[in-house]
Amino acid sequence: MKLFASLRDDLPASIVVFFVAVPLCLGIALASGAPALSGLIAGIVGGIVVGAISGSPLGVSGPAAGLAVIVLNAIEDLGSFETFLVAVVIGGAVQLILGLARAGVLGYFFPSSVIRGMLSGIGIIIILKQIPHALGHDSDPEGDMRFAQGDGDNTLTALGHMMDDFSISAIIVSVTALLILILWETVLSKKGRFFQIVQGPIVAVAFGVLFEVLTTKFKPSMALAREHLVQVPISENFNAFVSGLATPNWSAINQPAVWITGVTIAIVASLETLLCVEATDKLDTQKRVTPTNRELVAQGTGNMISGFIGGLPITQVIVRSSANIQSGGQSKMSAILHGFFILLFLLVLPQVLNMVPLAALASVLLVVGYKLAKPALFKQIWNQGWGQFLPFIVTILGIVFTDLLTGIGMGMAVALFVLLRAHYQNSHFLHIETGDDGTGKRKVRMELAEEVTFLHKGALLKELKSIPDNSQVTIDASNSFHIDHDVLEIIRDFEVTAERRGLTIETLGRLDRPIKAERLGLKGGELPSD
């Protein structure tokens, strides 16, 4: 019954996600070189099956743009889509094993700056990709999130070429739909319960359908051409739909290339899912935490079923998850319902879907993109310092100018560099007194950190070399819980050179016993019995 507790919010959100998901499913299938129906099958399974098993309250699963290149190359290398489906099933089984092996913990190792950069990067790429669709330039399919596009353009050159074949009708639809969305959110949603229950994106899409119906009937010259509308394959009946499903070519299961592809799908799909889970949880106003191991089990089950019935690989996807959150979804019921809506309309009302203008959906996604990449977020991260801002901005640039996973990899590399640099700098505290104690020696005190590892070697070597000759040096490890052997060697070497530099050295804490014992030729841990 908990699934139905927030149905009033989940139902309208699921309708918005449904309208956003359908062209994305179709576009990703097209970009992957797979049958159009395979994208919709993945959307249905991702909604109903994964949504039911998953513990994610707001995440939505379906075919992912991040896997499009892998799928395209795999279909070509394996020779057929049916052989590729065997790899999808294998990939799902591997994900299931990963979930049971509790590998979901890997999702917690992505820094917040990279996750926020991922969200903002996706927001920017959504805006850049949807502007051409808003003007009626639909040569690149929905769901293609890469910088290099399948139509020969890239994200930026497409903005220049979109004026070559723009559509006045598409502009009318997109601008009007955008005004509806802005008016609904800023004014009407505060006017009454009706405007809160009925979401602005639903009204915007309904306007687009009404425009197409009226212009087709009364002003055909203004009606949008077929390529500017959603294009769902139409089956005459249920039997025709079932007969159109592809099935795995199980005779290829002993081919090494199929297994390599399956493992590749499992790894990439799991990584993309865990990234999306982290991002979706950050967007959740209730700050709920998704059980990542259960999520991998859900994704693995979904991929096995999707592969069995002719669908593309599935991951949790940030665009649909963001649309769900920003449309007021409160529980996983919205994800489940959106899967049922795809199935219902595919079987019963595909003609209605085929009247939805891509320009109307572009307006919905433009708002989603803006909310993900608000200027206020950039200012907030900037105020947190370079340690946060640098991985954040590199992740954004990587996503915009390459693809999602490459951008995340670039951001992680920078975040690791920032971490190592901070680690390098925080190994110790050095205090040098300008006076002396009457012995003619300057006092130098070095306090080591709680954790001193091999990563601190460079900083310690530099600092020890900088100590003035003829100084009285105290190296205090009283607060240290762990000191690497590499660091102990550096301190031992420093002691060896102390006499010729006129240094007097005192070691305290964890350094005192092992270093003095080793200097006296004793075994580790032994102390002299004086």
Mean pLDDT of 245-270: 96
Q: Is residue 436 predicted with pLDDT exceeding 80?
A: no
Our CA dihedral for 478, 483, 486, 492, rounded to 10 degrees, sits at 20
529 domain residue, yes or no: no
Residue 192: pLDDT band by 50, 70, 90 thresholds? confident
Residue 426: per-residue pLDDT? 59
74 domain residue, yes or no: yes
Residue 530: per-residue pLDDT? 37
Same domain for 40 and 77, yes or no, is yes
Residue 510's CATH number: 3.30.750.24
Residue 386, Cβ neighbours under 10 Å: how many?
11
Q: How far is CA 171 from CA 164, 227, 355, in A?
A: 14, 15, 16
Mean pLDDT of 19-47: 94
Mean pLDDT, the chain, as a whole number?
88
Residue 440: per-residue pLDDT? 62
530 domain residue, yes or no: no
Spatial contact of 104 and 274, defined as CB atoms under 8 Å apart = yes
Q: Is residue 517 predicted with pLDDT exceeding 60?
A: no
Q: How far is CA 240 from CA 25, 34, 46, 311, 354, in A?
A: 20, 19, 22, 17, 19
Q: How far is CA 159 from CA 163, 407, 409, in A?
A: 8, 21, 27
Domain boundary among 348, 371, 405: 405
Same domain for 401 and 467, yes or no, is no
Q: Is residue 44 predicted with pLDDT exceeding 80?
A: yes
pLDDT, one tens digit per residue, over 143-183 is 888 898 878 889 999 998 898 889 999 999 999 999 999 99
DSSP assignment of 6-41 equals THHHHHHHHHHHHHHHHHHHHHHHHHTTS-HHHHHH
Domain boundary among 370, 405, 440: 405
Residue type present at position 208: G
415 domain residue, yes or no: no
122 domain residue, yes or no: yes
Mean pLDDT of 296-320: 97
160 domain residue, yes or no: yes
Same domain for 273 and 234, yes or no, is yes
Same domain for 78 and 188, yes or no, is yes
Residue 443: per-residue pLDDT? 85
Domain extent for 360: 2-405
21 domain residue, yes or no: yes
Same domain for 339 and 442, yes or no, is no
Same domain for 125 and 258, yes or no, is yes
pLDDT, one tens digit per residue, over 69-128 is 899 999 999 999 999 999 999 999 999 999 999 999 888 888 889 999 999 999 999 999
Domain boundary among 405, 437, 461: 405
Give the span between the Cα atoms of 178 and 184, in whole angstroms.
10
Residue 529: per-residue pLDDT? 40
Same domain for 250 and 369, yes or no, is yes
Residue 433: pLDDT band by 50, 70, 90 thresholds? low
256 domain residue, yes or no: yes
Same domain for 373 and 479, yes or no, is no
Same domain for 449 and 375, yes or no, is no
Same domain for 35 and 74, yes or no, is yes
Residue 107: per-residue pLDDT? 82
Same domain for 332 and 380, yes or no, is yes
What's the domain count of the chain?
2
Q: Which residue has the higher pLDDT, 151 or 366?
A: 366
Percent with pLDDT over 70 in the chain: 92
Same domain for 139 and 278, yes or no, is yes
Residue 523: pLDDT band by 50, 70, 90 thresholds? very low
Contacts of residue 513, Cβ cutoff 8 Å, sequence gap at least 6: 525, 527
Residue 294: per-residue pLDDT? 97
Mean pLDDT of 449-454: 78
